[in-house]
A and B are shown apart, each in its own frame.
Chain A
Amino acid sequence: MYIEPKVEEYRPKEHLKAWLADPLGRDQYVTYRGDDVEIHWHGKASQCEVAYSKKNWTELYVSWSPMGTYFATLFRQGVRLWGGPSWEPQQRFAHPLVKLMDFSPCEQYLVTWSHDPITVPPNLPQGPEFFSPEDEGNNIAVWDIKSGHLLRTFPTSLIEGEDSSMKKQMQWPALKWSLDDKFVARVTPGQQISVYELPSMGLHDKKSIKIEGVIDFEWCPHGEKDRDEAEKAAKSGKTPKKAKENMLAYWTPEVANQPARVTLLEFPSRRILRQKNLFNVTECKLYWQNQGDFLCVKVDRHTKTKKSILCSLEIFRIREKDFPVEVVELKDTVTDFSWEPKGERFAIVSSNDPNLGNPAPGITIKTDISFYQLDRGKNDFRLLRTLASRTSNTIRWSPRGRHVVLATVGSSTKSELEFWDLDFNNEDRREGQAAEWGSGIQHVGSADHYGVTDVEWDPSGRYLATSASAWRHTLENGYAIWDFRGQVIEKHILDRFKQFIWRPRPPTLLTKEQQRQIRRNLKEYSRTFDEDDAAEESNVSAELIALRKRLVDEWNAWRVRCKRDLVDEKRSRGQRVDGDRHAEEKEEIEEWIDEVIEQIEEVAE
């Protein structure tokens, strides 16, 4: 018999970006400690509070979506997404024994991975949200976040080790998204890159890009310039002459008389934009600057004897005609590379420590940190400054650039944090003086967080969080928040502390012009903030005044007691006390007055 389904009552959903409208303009962060997950508000000291907390909210770890809209937790059954001011469940993805997950850049899709191949037991419910028999044996699943539907599953592709005895390693993320969520690609090492179109998840052009030997690739990020241009075009109503295409970079090692090679490929046209041959290559790593202006390929080279390793940085300038490539040669091994966000600078960690590559307990590798900058005059990248003989192994640029933190992470003996400002005398330079090369670099502070395992800037670039996670060691777990000068704001040592993540923010909605206006009228805006601060301060001072009054009252009461005791004490000893003295001081004075009335002298004859 047909039963008419009940129409569910409409329940308005909460706004998923409500936190951005916080009247105090605070950021959020999540902490995971023991079984407790807490969402915190972070602002001025008086504005910090726990926004939400829940026990057993996750079984593995927690994650934010790239723009902070969703909060993800992992359970045996799969991934759940939460959001809105009351953290209501938003979506669930049934991938049993899920271990890894990854969001697409625009938060439309989710990728999950489990070590255990997918099985479809007969009692599994059917529907677009569930695995079906053809997914069996696969490990990776792609989901649509809004609908919760499963889009496609894949087997894990493994990078073959040089010899078969080497453990096969899986790359994560296994699927790489173009920055507009239009494509997702995976590499089959040594053979091909397969690009799938969204939302259908069908193989683009029905064939993969065959590239012999291909090891790795990266999509080019979209810069603000690209976005602005696209918006402008959309506003003017004209369809742009040619929509800017996506781009990806990949590299292939030396194979059969063919040199190693880095290639820039336009997509979906599949046009090769630029290729560069490289020799004696051991390994390449691709680093895009976050605006897509530059691509740095860090090339580890070996000498003919394969005994020593050199390093070169091949820097592609993407915005210029024919993609000029510049090479920075280095003698030491580069262990970390990082572009300044939205900038023309990068920092590297290099080392020639003989212990490099042979990690031993108690040994901290000696490193040098170098900053490079694009010299506009000469149009090449030049060394700004090298900070020699350090132990820092981690570079963390502020998301707004300019400030950078160098940290020694994962060492049992060193845990220093160095705070640097690369435009310290920025103000002077604006006055037209040609600043000396590299003179703007200024050390602004040092700090130490014993046992630090993670270092992360907040989305505004004003604060830095460091944490010591129990996943790595069990000494003084906890977290600390510093300002950009390295002054500690708060520090908590918390047993079984595991994870700290700032909630990301979406890109600003203000146009360039509006941002410029704000910067120009900063004094106007800051006045209202100053007023708030002053009001708050007077609140605090009201509290302080009350405290002082209390202290004085306590003191005075105690003094009165003391004085009374003292009087009693002295009286009991039969001594005079001040109060008594007045009475006793009334001395009786007897006055004898002789009055001579008459004096007669008689002469006795």
Chain B
Amino acid sequence: MDDAAGIKASEFDRWVRSTLRAALPDSDLRPLGQDHVLFKTFFLVRRIGGRAAVSGSVEGVDWGGKTVVVYSRNDLMGAWAKDPLGKPLYDCAPGGEAQRFDAKKLTLNILMYALTGSYKADAVHQPYILEKMRQGVP
């Protein structure tokens, strides 16, 4: 789910939280930790992008051993929106194009998570990922 409002405490945000409480009463919507596999399913995501920068994290609901709901409040889809000429419809603030690229990377990672599950959490990947994470640190 993606909140396109781009503001804190939006109406959509309130609806999301109340609806999830009703639909999944045993599971809470919680911020996903930086070590969550969602952030390494394809890109090694270090920052949360989006059209807006409402939250520094992505929230999710875990159920049956996996994250079944991913919720972004930064309007991820807004960062993808283009006009007929291929130009972005909205500016990404405050980070600009870097923030847009981060949003795209996170979106692709979410899709990858849906298609591969916890694949990148397998032990065979860990040494490679840790090494790349070290390389990526400025």
Do these two chains really belong together in a complex? no
A-to-B contact residues, CB < 8 Å = none
